[in-house]
Structure 1
Amino acid sequence: MVVLATKCYVGGDARDRTLDSLRSLLDNDLADLAVEYDIGIREDGFPSVTLSGEDAAVARNLLTEQWGTITPHFEAGERYVGTLESWDDDGFVLDAGEPVRIPSEGIGLGQGSPEQIRTRFGLVQHVPLTFVYESGGAGETLSVGRLADDQRDRLYDWTRESGRVNVNSATRAEVRATINRAGHAEDIVTVERLGLLEQSIVCTEGTDPPGLLASIGSYLPAELLAVVP
């Protein structure tokens, strides 16, 4: 079994659509392998995938590379993926199967409070982020890590592009349908999948990300944040 480092936190029909989307994605990921799988959702919202068949080990490695995985143990200096759970004046808290604190000095994305940094880089809640584990907590103290260097580089790259609008609580198909419904298909390059329910709309040159956000926001019951170059 492998636990994917992305969350399903919606309910009702939206949950059913999200699970259908995940099955479709796994069908594509595992199409060339001799493997069968079953999906479950843990109480904390992380999907668990039970694999069986000749290529189960290969499938497990592929899903780990594609999604990141939630593991029961951490080792100092190793890379893991957690979802952005909360933020405060002291930093970010990621959910990596247990809470992991990324202190302000471990974010490494320039000046500003954690809230300002989150807004500037379009870090919607639940977005998966890669971190390096540093030390375990004791008592009520959380485990501690820092954002991985390649994660920081990727976020900085976003600010050098033509602009983005990041969205949570929606599948990629739902975001694309919303853009088409709002008449903005020609204003975007693509919708990049960040997680199962977290997407990044890549704007074309000349498109104003805050303007796009304002236009599509009424169609999506989601958090939207603009990344302005």
Structure 2
Amino acid sequence: MVVLATKLYVEGEARERSLDSLRSLVTNEIGELDAEFEIGIRHDDFPSVTIDGDDATVARNVLREEFGEIVPDLQAGDTYVGTLESWDEDGFVLDAGQGDGVRIPTDELGLGPGSATQIRERYGLVQHLPLRFVYGGADGEEPSRLAETEQDRLYEWTRGDGRLNVNSATRAEVRATLNRAGHAQDYVTVERLGLLEQSVICTEHTDPPGLLASVGEYLPAELRCVVP
């Protein structure tokens, strides 16, 4: 079994659509392998994928690489993926399946000046966004920190033409909403950040705050802009 490091936290019909989307994503990744799978949702909203078949080991590794994995125990110095659960002036708290969460102090984010709240706004970080981090240890002597690969990814966001980040919606739902609202020519693509977290990559002449104002009423979600 693999517990994927992306959350399914919506309810009702949206939950069923999200489950269908997750099944499609898993099928795209391992469908050609000799493996069958079943998906369950844990009490903490992380999906678990049970895999059987001759290629089960390979399939598990493919899903770990694609989504990241929630593991029972964290080892100091190792890199994991957690979802952005909460934030305050002093740092981020990531949900890595450990109950209380993993706190990353502002000084360990490595994303420039400002409080953690200001940094979240600057980089357009929506709640539940999967983020890679290096675990500091349970004793608290070494703080956990954002992984360098994650820092590089987020810095790249601020060097492009702008982004609109969204949660609580699948990639297909975001694309359909953009097209329906008349913005088919205003974005390059929708990048999947997690199952329900997406990043709309804007064209050179698109204003991310203007795009947010236009489509916000159609998406019951949190939306955050990245403005270069």
TM over 0.5: yes
Q: Give the SS at the match of 2:48.
A: strand
Q: Taking structure 1 as reference, are residues 137 and 13 closer, same or farther at Cα in structure 2, changes over 3 Å only? A: farther
In the comparison of the two structures, how many residue pairs are matched?
226
1:132 matches 2:131: no
TM-score (norm 1): 0.97
Q: Which residue of 2 aligns with 1:205?
A: 204
Aligned match of 1:196: 195
Distance 1:155 1:30 in 2: 28
Secondary structure of the residue aligned to 1:16 is: helix
- CA deviation after TM superposition for structure 1 residue 32, in Å: 1.5
Q: Report the secondary structure of 1:135's partner residue.
A: coil
- Structure 1 CA distance, aligned partners of 2:139 and 2:50? 30
- Give the AA of the match of 1:77: G
Equivalent residue for 1:38?
38
Partner of 1:47: 47
Normalised TM-score (structure 2): 0.97
Residue 80 (1) aligns with residue 83 (2): no
4+ residue segments displaced more than 2 Å: none
Report the alpha carbon displacement of residue 137 of structure 1 after superposing the two structures with TM: 4.8
Q: Distance in 2 between matches of 1:117 and 1:74?
A: 26
Alpha-carbon separation, structure 2, partners of 1:228 and 1:114: 18
Separation (CA, whole Å) in 2 of partners of 1:196 and 1:35 = 22
Pairing 1:60–2:60 present: yes
Q: Distance in 1 between matches of 2:222 and 2:143?
A: 27
Equivalents in 2 of 1:39, 1:84: separation in Å?
A: 23
Q: CA RMSD in A?
A: 1.2
- Within a 5 Å distance, the mapping from 1:65-214 to structure 2 comes to 65-98=65-98, 99-137=101-139, 144-214=143-213
Distance 1:49 1:145 in 2: 28
CA contact (8 A) 1:86 1:94 kept: yes
Q: Which amino acid aligns with 2:53?
A: G
> Could you report, residue by residue, the CA deviation over 1:106-147 in whole angstroms, capped at 9, with x for unpaired residues?
111001111110011010000000000111157xx9x94100
How far the C-alpha of 1:22 sits from its partner, in A, is 0.3
Percent of pairs with identical residues: 68
Q: Secondary structure at the match of 1:27?
A: helix
**Gaps in structure 2 of 5+ consecutive residues:** none
**Aligned with 2:32: secondary structure?**
coil
Measured against aligned partners, the alpha-carbon deviations of 1:149-196 in whole angstroms (never above 9, x if no partner) come to: 010000000000000000000000000000001100101000000000
